[in-house]
Chains A and B, each alone.
Chain A
Amino acid sequence: MPKKNISGRSLSEAITSEDILGKEVIDIDGDFIGIAEKVLINPKNFNSLGISIDKGFFKRGLTIGKGYIERVTSHAIFLKINVPYLLKGKIVFDKDGKKVGVVSSIDLHGAQNRIKELHVKSQTSLPLLKKEIVIPNKIIRNIGDNVILKLTREQVMKRLGEKRLESA
């Protein structure tokens, strides 16, 4: 039996939280990110703000703004972005394909989906010599399965050395 409607407009095309919760969230690369566990709503105007994603038992949750959601379908929620936080643990190669290190953390521009810089732990056999390199977004050539830089490892280290001198 059709429900009575006193909203003042047709709600036939609206979706409910049940259509969102528990669904897989898939990024622009087709990667499964997690499961939608909450719908975030603005308490003043009741507009939806985004969704909260459960990434698994040992991983921290993630909140995605509604502007980054492409579509909600019968089986999943598709995003129109790659989630930069998933870069953690990826290998960073220089221009020549030499391994620079592994991404340890990511800095974004505020809460936007734009990478500001990557913190990369350089890989050495001696744990005491392990150091963190900060890679600014402008020297990243490509991000896919891993990260490829526009410069060689030596050029990156030189740049970082110059920056340190400037700030001193």
Chain B
Amino acid sequence: MKNVLQVKQHERAFENTITLDKLKGKHVISHGGHVIGRIENVRINPLTFSLEGVVVRCESIGESVYIGKNYFKSLSYESIILKIELVLLLKGKTVINFNGKIIGKVIDVVRKGTTNNLQGIIVKSLWSKPFTITRSAIKLVGKNIVLKSGYNAQKKYFWQKSI
């Protein structure tokens, strides 16, 4: 590393900081190792001058996502590893009921505000209207979503009138 003169008070030493422009284009990886996307830009708080988050281009959902620093586990020149699985990426996953029957695919995710806390999922099958499944009815979220045994949603087909 190039040796530089330092003018600072209580801040971290130059050697213990990283250059933000080097982060651009690096991968953001979820807790489980899923490559979410590449960093588009790094966002700084203009009042405290500290890093607030990064904007990531998620190709799988075709959108850019701003991820706050509280969800970072580690940050290096190689990548950012998160301490979470991004619930936004549940879109497109298959939903299976307790008996193993496929009941549809996730078309949208309901979150608590802008956090990563899952409130529910909006599911649609080929012939049904979109319907919401609350978080309490979900048994596990992994490669696919498996529902708890008690879940028994009334399926509404597109030819049925909504109440």
Q: Is the CB of B146 within 8 A of A30?
A: yes
The minimal Cβ–Cβ distance linking B71 to chain A, given in whole angstroms, is 14
The minimal Cβ–Cβ distance linking A115 to chain B, given in whole angstroms, is 15
Contact of B32 among A26, A30, A94, A145 (CB under 8 A): A145
Q: Is the CB of A73 within 8 A of B99?
A: yes
Interface flag for B144 (CB, 8 Å):
yes
B101 to chain A: closest residue by CB: A75
A76 to chain B: closest residue by CB: B100
The minimal Cβ–Cβ distance linking A22 to chain B, given in whole angstroms, is 12
Q: Is the CB of B33 within 8 A of A145?
A: yes
Q: Is the CB of A76 within 8 A of B80?
A: no
In the complex, chain B residues whose CB is within 8 Å of the CB of A95: 74
CA distance A1 to B101 in the complex (A): 30
Q: Is the CB of B81 within 8 A of A148?
A: yes
In the complex, chain B residues whose CB is within 8 Å of the CB of A78: 100, 146
Q: Is the CB of B29 within 8 A of A93?
A: yes
Number of interface residues of B (CB under 8 A): 31
CA distance A91 to B79 in the complex (A): 14
Contact with A along B38-69 (1 / 0, CB 8 A): 00000000000000000000000000000000
Q: Is the CB of A96 within 8 A of B35?
A: no
In the complex, chain A residues whose CB is within 8 Å of the CB of B80: 97
Contact of A75 among B26, B74, B99 (CB under 8 A): B99
Interface flag for B76 (CB, 8 Å):
yes
A144 to chain B: closest residue by CB: B32
Contact of B33 among A23, A96, A147 (CB under 8 A): A147
Q: Is the CB of B74 within 8 A of A31?
A: no
Interface flag for B96 (CB, 8 Å):
yes
Interface flag for A98 (CB, 8 Å):
yes
Interface flag for B98 (CB, 8 Å):
yes
CA distance A91 to B29 in the complex (A): 11
Q: Which of A23, A32, A75, A145: most chain B Cβ within 10 A? A: A145
